[in-house]
Amino acid sequence: MSRAATLGRNIGHAFGENRLTLVAVAILLVLLVCAAFGTALAPYDPLMTDSTAKMSPPSGLHLFGTDALGRDILSRVVVAARLDLGMAISAVVLSFVLGLALGAVAGYFGGWADRIIGRLMDTIMAFPLFVLAMGIVAALGNSVLNIILATMIINLPFYCRFARGEVNVRREMGYVEAARMGGNRALPVLVNHIIPNILPAMMVQASLNMGWAILNAAGLSFIGLGVRPPTPEWGIMVSEGASFIISGEWWTFVFPGAALVLAVFCFNLLGDGLRDLLDPRRRV
Chain centroid to Cα 203, Å, comes to 11
Work out how many domains the chain is built from and give that number. 1
CB burial string 134-149: b at 16+ within 10 A, e below: bebbeeeebebebbbb
Residue 162 sits in a domain of what CATH number? Answer: 1.10.3720.10
**Considering the domain boundaries, does residue 210 fall inside one?**
yes
pLDDT at 201: 83
What global pTM score does this model have? 0.87
Indicate the SS3 state at residue 241: helix
**Considering the domain boundaries, does residue 56 fall inside one?**
no
Q: CB 6: neighbour CB atoms within 10 A?
A: 11
| Residue 257 and residue 242 in contact, taking contact as beta carbons nearer than 8 Å | no
Query: 223 φ, ψ to 5°?
Result: -95, 5
Q: CB 261: neighbour CB atoms within 10 A?
A: 13
pLDDT tens-digit profile of 16-48? 566 778 888 889 999 999 999 999 999 999 999
Structural domain containing residue 186: 3-50+61-283
pLDDT tens-digit profile of 198-245? 888 888 888 888 989 999 999 999 998 888 888 899 999 999 998 888
CA distances (Å), origin 108, targets 22, 111, 136: 38, 9, 31
| pLDDT greater than 70 at residue 280 | no
**Considering the domain boundaries, does residue 55 fall inside one?**
no
**Considering the domain boundaries, does residue 242 fall inside one?**
yes
- In whole angstroms, give the CA distance from residue 277 to residue 222: 36
**Considering the domain boundaries, does residue 30 fall inside one?**
yes
**Considering the domain boundaries, does residue 46 fall inside one?**
yes
**Considering the domain boundaries, does residue 235 fall inside one?**
yes
Q: What share of the chain has pLDDT > 70, as a percent?
A: 90
Q: Is 1 exposed, middle or buried (0-12, 13-18, 19+ CB in 10 A)?
A: exposed
The mean pLDDT value for 110-126 works out to 92
* CA angle, 198 then 200 then 202, to 5°: 70
The mean pLDDT value for 123-131 works out to 92
The CB-side HSE value for 157 (13 A sphere, CA atoms) comes to: 14
The mean pLDDT value for 59-79 works out to 93
